[in-house]
A and B are shown apart, each in its own frame.
Chain A
């Protein structure tokens, strides 16, 4: 039995850099960058340790550590990892050093930038590992501010508008989530004797069907805004477009995953009956999002907006996979969360490198770039091919599993979703053709190609993409037991199945039947 508190360490690791950045105010910009990189690499190292200790073939939570935090309220520091969260933590700790390295050229308030990034990493990892609902909510809410700040301070022209829109949309969703969490908390006080936010105990609550459905919706709205599920997606293109390169990477690669993760972890776990009840409606929304995102992406003239709308489309696929409730589709959904982080993250990264050279996001301003920067174009092609699901690259595996799993449940929706996958090839390739091929504009004649630093950023992502694409077994075998367990649990419930009526919760008037 390993006694290292890996999870607590993983959450705390990025924080070690924070005091340095906050206290040492005359730190040079370069030193601040190195502190940021070192702290994120430390977190990556810890997460590797966590992965090495992960028992393959186990479905439940591992490396659980639970300590009372605010005992009088029933709040615990309760963290644990299972097949779902381990990969999300891995992609987080993997992408953060890359994102930091990618923002090496940030000149403006570097120290503050790095501090915000480290704080952000901590709260995102925390959100993925929390098994206490309030603890999760604390992390879930706490990530808003650093992201708001990063978009608002280091973003482009309409950054404040975009940052505010991001903040208000997600807080709006969280408001419902908070009410749901408090409701469960109070209910647990009535049913279990002591009020608690402990996920494993809240699972045991007997909720009347109608109530569970309302609570499901409250949770769902909270997470759907983050995903974002169509039609709650409108903040995303603005936030993506205005965010600085690293902001977009973090947003795309990691932050968006807290939404579908929340659905997997909390909606399915706490409200299986309601999940079944609403599944079809949610799957329809997801498919609408897939097609809508693809079509709108096709019409964009701004590359960042194009990638943003492609995110809406791809995230739809993830939600589809979650609510198809088959073990394959859930595997696929989680894998797609990781994949989308890698490929969309890389798209933003490479485009960010191009943007640093050209300072334009308009497709029409570009063209023929491949002639002067073959390596950069090559990197973009890899990211793009991964994004559209070329076999041999990571997305193919995930998309295939989601569609396979969905097909066995609902053929019509799966078929429509496939159209979305095809459309993504269309808009991606078309945008590549307009941006990188064709005749070279004179002003781009002397663009430098990828530097060593940039190359070093890109190579590890490509390596991981190939690894998942060619040999997904190590990922899947850690994922599968959890997917199977969750899928079986949800499928075991019948829709409309009456829940044992509560003995005392009703009839406050005291009129008991004789």
Chain B
């Protein structure tokens, strides 16, 4: 006797709203290619608001898996979806502002953004490795196209590179899924956890599977040595796309990593932790060191994002609630800071002209005080200097790693953040301590400044009273078995 499958679509309502919105936006863009952007951006914001509201509605539900074990409804997914909607809204507005300057309208931007977000929202709710893979593909394909959206030579080349590297990553990921199936005869995340606990026979296979999954996901969050595409893509992509991509992808994929490492392969944590620690350490060191050598602010931020991925990963050597909360807090503050930083860069670099050399930032405190102050806040947070949220985030992830006994990793991380302070504050020094040079091409519109003040305020508030969300994040416990 076969029970008819129960269709519990309510559980993935945010995903459905996002994909539905994306389809409508896509149709709109197809029929009104050259129409004004304003309705599109308003529609996008409305869709994001609806998705966020539906996610909130799920907050108080019992954590369960639904749709035949395909999606999980837990607070981790809810929190991550809310974060993604916030990032998406800021990204949509930045893109609106950016493309307004160009003579060609690109209304597909909103559809692609929503598709990417849909993929991410699916990823954070995934309860099965197949869904993880599908969601990664959806978000990646949207991001490839977004990267190339201006049809200029640089972005197209960047998108090509991103696509090729992404294809590799997918292969690793798929291989990992296959190995997982081999190890436990299931691809369900909870099923894996159940099957792998207490068994000894298939342990090596499980470890290999987990590592392959980490490699595949590591590509997406640019962990060393899977980071090669990052500087070119971050530099080549239009600034609002870079902003969105760097913040949202990291948030979504790290949540997926929580599900893989803290649930599916939690029984293998002792075998995996050294590998995680090693990946984290090399990412922090290599990212920081290479960032020092950059002369272009987008490339610098790209390498720095490699280092930041390493910092986040260091929380994963400590499985469990505190590690997850630390990683989530880090992802949120990093997202706000990096989105804001690229947003300011977009305004300073003359929009589509994308002039992002360091010289652009000389003496900015005098010509563009608001932008300079905003960027300073974002960079201080990335550097982890109090009283910004970045400092709290670093203390939390380092605290998690220390309590797992990985204090050498913490020491490496602390020293890497010294190197980080050097290159982040070099931009601050350029803005505050040098004389302005050349013409000032910065965007003068007031609204983007106001919008970018939102993440800046968030960083300062979370830096001073992190208590407002830390307990919430600790509650955002993941659905285990």
Given A142-B385, A175-B411, A168 contacting B402 (CB threshold 8 A) = no
CB pair A186 B425 closer than 8 Å: no
Interface string of B410-452 (1 = CB under 8 A from A): 1100110110011001101100111000000000000000000
User: CA–CA, A325 to B426, complex, Å?
Assistant: 42
| Set B417, B426, B428, B429: member contacting A175, Cβ < 8 A | B417
A142 touching B387 by the CB < 8 A rule?
yes
**In this assembly, does B470 line the interface, its C-beta being within 8 Å of a C-beta of chain A?**
yes
Q: Is the CB of B391 within 8 A of A149?
A: no
Q: Mark A172-208, 1 if CB is under 8 A from B, else 0.
A: 1011101100110110010000010000000000000
Once the chains bind, are B425 and A179 in contact (CB under 8 Å)?
Answer: no
Other-chain residue from A69, A152, A168, A175 in contact with B414 (beta carbon distance below 8 A): A175
Choose, from A89-97, A156-164, A231-239, A489-497, the stretch at the interface.
A156-164
Question: What 0/1 pattern do residues 382 to 420 of B give for CB contact below 8 A with A?
Answer: 000111000100011011001100010011001101100
Number of interface residues of A (CB under 8 A): 38
A377 to B480, CA, bound (A): 76
Surface stretch bound by B, among A38-46, A70-78, A303-311: A70-78
Question: A168–B421 contact, CB under 8 A?
Answer: yes
The secondary structure that dominates the A interface is helix
Do A182 and B467 touch across chains, with their CB atoms under 8 A apart? no
What residue in chain B is nearest A138 (Cβ atoms)? Answer: B386
B 96-150 contacts with A by CB, 8 A: none
Chain B interface size band reads 35 or more
A160 CB → nearest B CB, Å: 5
Task: Looking at the assembled complex, report how far the CB atom of A313 sits from the nearest CB atom of chain B, in whole angstroms.
Answer: 28
Considering the chains assembled together, what is the distance between the CA atoms of A160 and B431 in angstroms? 12
- Judge whether A134 is part of the interface by a CB distance below 8 angstroms: yes
* Chain A residues within 8 Å of B154, by CB: none
- CB A485 to nearest CB in B, in angstroms, measures 31
Interface contact A141-B399, CB-CB below 8 Å: no
Q: Is the CB–CB distance between A73 and B385 below 8 Å?
A: no
Judge if B249 is at the interface, Cβ distance under 8 Å: no
Among B398, B432, B467, which residue has its beta carbon within 8 angstroms of that of A178?
Answer: B398
**Could you tell me if B410 and A182 are in contact, using CB atoms closer than 8 angstroms?**
yes
Question: Taking CB as reference atom, which chain A residue is nearest B414?
Answer: A175
Q: Is the CB of B474 closer than 8 A to any CB of chain A?
A: yes
Q: Is A426 an interface residue (CB 8 A)?
A: no
Tell whether A153 is near chain B: CB-to-CB under 8 Å.
Answer: yes
In the complex, what's the smallest C-beta–C-beta distance from A69 to chain B, in angstroms? 6
Closest CB in chain A relative to B102 CB, distance in Å = 33
The answer, among A69, A112, A168, A183, for a CB contact under 8 Å with B422, is A168
Please state if B418 and A138 are interface contacts (CB–CB under 8 Å): no
Whether, in the assembled complex, A148 has its beta carbon less than 8 Å from a beta carbon of chain B, the answer is yes
**Which of A144, A148, A174, A182 has a CB less than 8 Å from the CB of B399?**
A182
B418 CB → nearest A CB, Å: 4
8 Å CB contact of A160 from B391, B407, B433: B433
**A residues within 8 A CB of B385?**
141-142, 144-145
**Inter-subunit contact B432/A179 (CB<8 Å):** no
Say yes or no: is A167 at the interface (Cβ < 8 Å to chain B).
Answer: yes
Asked if A171 is at the interface (CB within 8 A of a chain B CB), the reply is yes
State whether A176 and B411 are in contact (beta carbons under 8 Å apart), knowing that A138-B386, A160-B433, A185-B402 are contacts in the complex.
Answer: yes
Q: How far is the CA of A168 from the CA of B424 in the complex (A)?
A: 12
Known contacts: A72-B470, A175-B418. The answer to whether A141 contacts B391 by CB under 8 A is yes
User: How far apart are B271's CB and chain A's nearest CB, in angstroms?
Assistant: 15
Min CB gap B410→A, angstroms = 5
Chain B contacts with A in 354-407, Cβ cutoff 8 A: 365, 369, 380, 385-387, 391, 395-396, 398-399, 402-403, 407
Residue from A70, A144, A174, A189 in contact with B466 in the complex, judged by beta carbons closer than 8 Å: A70
A148 CB to nearest chain B CB (Å): 7
Kindly list chain A residues whose C-beta atoms are within 8 Å of the C-beta of B434.
Answer: 160
Q: In the complex, which residues of chain B have a beta carbon less than 8 angstroms from the beta carbon of A167?
A: 421-422, 425
What's the nearest-Cβ distance from chain A to residue B65, in Å?
28
When the two chains form the complex, which single residue of B325, B402, B421, B432 contacts A183, counting CB atoms closer than 8 Å? B402
B68 located at the interface, meaning its Cβ lies under 8 Å from any Cβ of chain A in the complex? no
CB-contact partner of A73 in B396, B414, B421, B428, under 8 A: B396
Does chain A have a CB within 8 A of B471?
yes
CA distance A350 to B402 in the complex (A): 48
Whether A175 lies near B415 (C-beta < 8 A) is yes
Residues of B contacting A183 in the complex (Cβ-Cβ under 8 angstroms): 402, 407
Alpha-carbon gap, A365 to B428, bound state (A): 35
Contacts of A112 in B (CB 8 A): 365
- Can you list 18 pairs linking A and B with CB atoms under 8 Å apart? A69-B467, A70-B465, A71-B467, A72-B470, A72-B474, A73-B396, A112-B365, A138-B386, A139-B386, A141-B386, A153-B433, A164-B422, A167-B421, A168-B422, A171-B418, A182-B395, A186-B402, A189-B403
* Chain A contacts to B: CB under 8 angstroms: 25, 69-73, 109, 112, 134, 138-139, 141-142, 144-145, 148-149, 152-153, 159-160, 163-164, 167-168, 171-172, 174-176, 178-179, 182-183, 185-186, 189, 195
Closest 8 CB pairs of A and B: A175-B414, A70-B467, A182-B402, A186-B403, A142-B386, A152-B433, A138-B386, A171-B418
**A73-B396, A112-B365, A141-B386 given; 14 more Cβ-contact pairs under 8 Å:** A71-B471, A138-B386, A145-B380, A149-B432, A167-B421, A167-B425, A168-B421, A171-B418, A171-B421, A175-B414, A175-B417, A176-B411, A179-B398, A182-B399
